[in-house]
Structure 1
Amino acid sequence: MIQLPDEFREKMKRLLGAEYDSFIESYEKERVQGLRVNPLKISKEKFREISPFHLEKIPWAAEGYYYQAAERPGKHPYHEAGLYYIQEPSAMAVVELLDPKPGENILDLCAAPGGKTTHIAGRMQGKGFLLSNEIHPARARILSQNVERLGIGNAVVSNEDSGSLSLRFPGFFDRIVVDAPCSGEGMFRKDETARLEWTPEHVKVCAARQEEILSNAAVMLKPGGTIVYSTCTFSPEENEQVIERFLIIHPDFSIADAGTRPGLYPGRPEWSKSGMEELKKTFRIWPDKSEGEGHYLAVLRKCEDEGSVKKQTMPEYSSDKSVIKEVETFLKELLVNPAPLLLRKEYILFGDQLYLIPPEMVDFKGMKIIRPGLHLGTVKKNRFEPSHGFALFLKKEEVYLSIDLSADGAEIIKYLKGETLTGDISRSLDNKKGWVLVNTDGYSIGFAKLAGGILKNHYPKGLRWM
């Protein structure tokens, strides 16, 4: 039986009254598991055709599915190919409410480990600019790895605090996600650390931090733009009361009416300080009423305004003509149609690492940047070596040389373990040479290099299966 903090039990009993028994019984239920299909790689219809898992639809997430607890989708080649992202089902509601569109500027402010970022990127379809930020360096690196795995080419990953970003991006974004750090009450079923760290004082500390982050987000939003605020906690202090205080301080904002959503329940105005009726338009997910962990969500809209927006300074792109020429030669040898990348000018060298940054990105000199865009590869003496991220970004039909390995065959396991590929696989390339895109069931998963009838494995050592 899960040991819940006594003060938490008392608080929830006081808040819920007759609903308390049903709520507390939910902690004895087995928690559900979810994955979300990545439309940058595959349609949800096609994934359902090829999926080796038993899937059931998550009602509030268009690309989301429950899978059975005994299944292990994180240990399947499709996971390494970025066909899906494993995510707690309730968390998928955030981006559904955000409703991102291709071509917009979007910020995921507290983004690690990457669930919301990858969800947003799928909806953007490679068009527009996504800034994905995480204040904790180790978590920002995990975020960057997930951006790479899902083949996202229009995102920058930063490691900043919200205040610093607000100085760089005033009035810049069309939509912002604030999935705020919280006391984690909604995750008590799965997270023992959250249970052990919980105190009433910790709830207050979280609420103050949430208000600061949300206020900084407001600065970065365009007039007419949308913020989705979310937490994975039940505390009114971190939910209705944060939104209530935000609206008082920011009269240019209102709660947007997002209608009714299956599995999502209205916020509780009676738990705010003033009983603000508008809070009924916010949302809660209750584990005893829906198949998901506890969550709170609010959609905030900034009023239309013709206020001035600070002009952004653009970064200086690489002017090393020898590097650019080398990359152009490589792209022409690799790609059937290199024109879309050759026409781009936003190449940036980070040491010997070459990136193609989103054209909307501002000058990031002085910023802590983990991933400045699409990682193309490493510039070496007299040659260019493509990155793993570039392989995951590409599609089979876009390259001259590719091989396809069955997801349930022995060869894909050999590849994921870093072994050399020989025999019929290399012979199928008819003694050609050069970089080869490796696919599993038609979906890119990495690079190999063909020479002398042998495919040298370039799957990253840090990702290799044991």
Structure 2
Amino acid sequence: MHLPKDFLKRMQGFMQEEYEAFVETYKENKVQGLRINTLKISVEDFLNFNPFHLKHIPWIEEGFYYGTEDKPGKHPYHEAGLYYIQEPSAMAVATILDPKPRERILDLCAAPGGKSTHIAARLKHEGFLLSNEIHPSRAKILSQNIERMGIKNCVVTNESPERLAQRFQNFFHRILVDAPCSGEGMFRKDVEACEQWSMEKVASCARRQLDILEQAVKMLMPEGRLVYSTCTFSPEENEGVIDQFLKKYHEFSIEAVEIYHGFGGGKPEWIKSENEGLRKTIRLWPHRIQGEGHYIAVLKKNDGDGEYKIKNSKKEIDRKAIKDYFCFAEEYLHKIPEGEYILFGEQLYIMPKEMISLEYLKILRPGWHLGTMKKNRFEPSHAFALALTEKEAKNNICFSAESKEILSYLKGDPLSVDGKKGWHLIHVDGYSLGWGKLANNVLKNHYPKGLRWTVDSV
């Protein structure tokens, strides 16, 4: 790998006796990990039938390295949302954020969704997650990953931090700012980040990171936790940003948290700062752990304005307008999902009760997508299926992950199946994968066309 000369010169000056061990990691293959989605399956149950060569990641209970021979992205369990493929060091961030059920959480720079889906798993469908991404194409990928993991209590927005701060003052218990950065910690796995690196980019990122943090301040309630993270080694973007932030916002302090013994502390001397509290921030180094480079700072808001009072300005939906949904749910489910129903055009959602009015916000996903209100009928969505369990549906068809039927289903083919006429929830080894509609022993395939496997993907 051809690393930028200025980058190497800087790192040699910073790391001194550790420099040679650090540089040697660029001759090694990147490590790969997956995080089990505990919204759908327990770690124990997954390990009982897992098809991969897994080794536990020591800083996260539900995280595992997988072997170079494994292809978890091309497995039916991936499509069922049983796990999320995620870089191992990145799994430390949401663990350190430590979200609790019933809290209101903001992931401000959320795409592609690794940390948001981790937060959602920790919330256990209780509380509220707002996942935001300012870039439209990346926000769409984020929304798709929220759907795949079967998350019910998340709203996905495509907004600037400034616009969100106008609406959610003192609103969130915890906020994650996984800030856009120069990507130095990802050079081993991202050639493009390496090629685009420059000192000018480092400086530009640092300015933008501080701007984002200043908006996050407005949205965090007193006693709340703000976690700032990057995937870069650059002290200007790490200790430098936090040092500047603390000089301006005296109500914040750095919070020490329990960490894995292989993690390192912050380096105030690299930015010539006298703030020894910066040593309580966290650095992950590829020569010390099996993972890429990361920086994490945990900030606590010690005082400030009072907690946000939720203003219920939402309009109640006319339940007669969605009577076909209730008919569907009564016929095919043991219990009708309840909540705050909203219609986005023809699309029906259950919105988290903590979400404020949707007016004047760019919303990609206002909650759990149930389906489409067609003329005189309701058609269930893929997101509806992925968040349901076998016990909740009246009609279930289950295939093995190794069966030819599951491969045919993922390719979008119709299937010959004996059973009752109507909608059926399709499962892989007992975990929901999508819908099919049965008539005359032929299952019409409702697996989304955009997700279907092709010959090349098999």
- Superposed pair shares fold, TM > 0.5: yes
Residue identity opposite 2:442 in structure 1 = I
Hey, what's the Cα distance between the residues in 2 that align with 1:22 and 1:275?
A: 28
Residue identity opposite 1:288 in structure 2 = H
Hey, what's the Cα distance between the residues in 2 that align with 1:310 and 1:108?
A: 18
Residue identity opposite 1:221 in structure 2 = L
1:369 to 338, 363, 371: 363
Residue identity opposite 2:258 in structure 1 = G
Q: What is aligned with 2:395?
A: 401
Offset at 1:323?
2.4
Hey, what's the Cα distance between the residues in 1 that align with 2:290 and 2:313?
A: 46
Query: Structure 1-normalised TM-score?
Result: 0.96
CA contact (8 A) 1:259 1:281 kept: no
Hey, what's the Cα distance between the residues in 2 that align with 1:74 and 1:310?
A: 41
Offset at 1:272?
2.8
| Secondary structure in 2 matching 1:237 | coil
| Secondary structure in 1 matching 2:20 | helix
> How many aligned positions are there?
454
Offset at 1:276?
1.3
Q: What is aligned with 1:412?
A: 406
| Secondary structure in 1 matching 2:236 | helix
Hey, what's the Cα distance between the residues in 1 that align with 2:319 and 2:90?
A: 45
Q: What is aligned with 2:321?
A: 323
Q: 1:440 to 1:310 in 2, by over 3 A?
A: closer
Residue identity opposite 1:298 in structure 2 = A
Counterpart check, 1:12 vs 2:6: no
Offset at 1:309?
4.3
Hey, what's the Cα distance between the residues in 1 that align with 2:372 and 2:261?
A: 47
Offset at 1:180?
0.2
Offset at 1:348?
1.2
Hey, what's the Cα distance between the residues in 1 that align with 2:151 and 2:212?
A: 26
Offset at 1:382?
0.5
Offset at 1:263?
2.6
| Secondary structure in 2 matching 1:394 | coil
| Secondary structure in 1 matching 2:211 | helix
Hey, what's the Cα distance between the residues in 2 that align with 1:182 and 1:95?
A: 18
Offset at 1:325?
1.9
Offset at 1:259?
2.9
Counterpart check, 1:31 vs 2:30: yes
| Secondary structure in 2 matching 1:397 | coil
1:348 to 320, 336, 342: 342
Q: Deviations over 1:173-227 (max 9, x none)?
A: 0011110000000000111111111110110000000001111111100100101
Offset at 1:12?
0.7
Offset at 1:308?
3.2
Residue identity opposite 2:237 in structure 1 = E
Aligned pairs for 1:47-446 within 5 A: 47-305=46-304, 307-317=305-315, 319-338=317-336, 341-342=337-338, 344=339, 346-422=340-416, 426-427=417-418, 429=419, 432-446=420-434
| Secondary structure in 2 matching 1:238 | coil
Identity %: 57
CA contact (8 A) 2:221 2:306 kept: no
CA contact (8 A) 1:59 1:262 kept: no
Hey, what's the Cα distance between the residues in 1 that align with 2:2 and 2:411?
A: 41
CA contact (8 A) 1:35 1:66 kept: yes
CA contact (8 A) 1:318 1:349 kept: no
Hey, what's the Cα distance between the residues in 1 that align with 2:327 and 2:262?
A: 53
Hey, what's the Cα distance between the residues in 2 that align with 1:251 and 1:230?
A: 20
Residue identity opposite 1:243 in structure 2 = I
CA contact (8 A) 2:222 2:306 kept: no
Q: Deviations over 1:311-332 (max 9, x none)?
A: 4443534533332322111111
| Secondary structure in 1 matching 2:415 | coil
CA contact (8 A) 1:241 1:273 kept: no
Residue identity opposite 1:10 in structure 2 = K
Query: Structure 2-normalised TM-score?
Result: 0.97
Q: 1:440 to 1:312 in 2, by over 3 A?
A: same
CA contact (8 A) 2:310 2:354 kept: no
CA contact (8 A) 1:133 1:158 kept: yes
Offset at 1:271?
1.5
Per mean C-alpha deviation after superposition, the further-off stretch among 369-378 and 329-338 is 329-338
| Secondary structure in 1 matching 2:143 | helix
CA contact (8 A) 1:91 1:295 kept: yes
| Secondary structure in 1 matching 2:117 | helix
Hey, what's the Cα distance between the residues in 2 that align with 1:320 and 1:390?
A: 21
CA contact (8 A) 1:317 1:347 kept: no
Hey, what's the Cα distance between the residues in 1 that align with 2:313 and 2:67?
A: 47
Offset at 1:56?
0.4
Residue identity opposite 2:423 in structure 1 = W
Offset at 1:391?
0.2
Offset at 1:437?
0.2
CA contact (8 A) 2:350 2:367 kept: yes
Hey, what's the Cα distance between the residues in 1 that align with 2:414 and 2:193?
A: 44
Offset at 1:63?
0.8
Residue identity opposite 2:342 in structure 1 = I
CA contact (8 A) 2:348 2:370 kept: yes
Offset at 1:22?
1.1
Q: Deviations over 1:114-173 (max 9, x none)?
A: 000000000100000000000000000000000000000000000001111111100000
Hey, what's the Cα distance between the residues in 1 that align with 2:346 and 2:132?
A: 24
Hey, what's the Cα distance between the residues in 2 that align with 1:460 and 1:289?
A: 43
User: Where does structure 2 lack aligned partners over 5 or more consecutive residues?
Assistant: none
| Secondary structure in 2 matching 1:356 | strand
Hey, what's the Cα distance between the residues in 1 that align with 2:239 and 2:269?
A: 9
1:455 to 439, 443, 451: 443
Residue identity opposite 1:331 in structure 2 = A
Structure 1 runs of 4+ off > 4 angstroms?
none
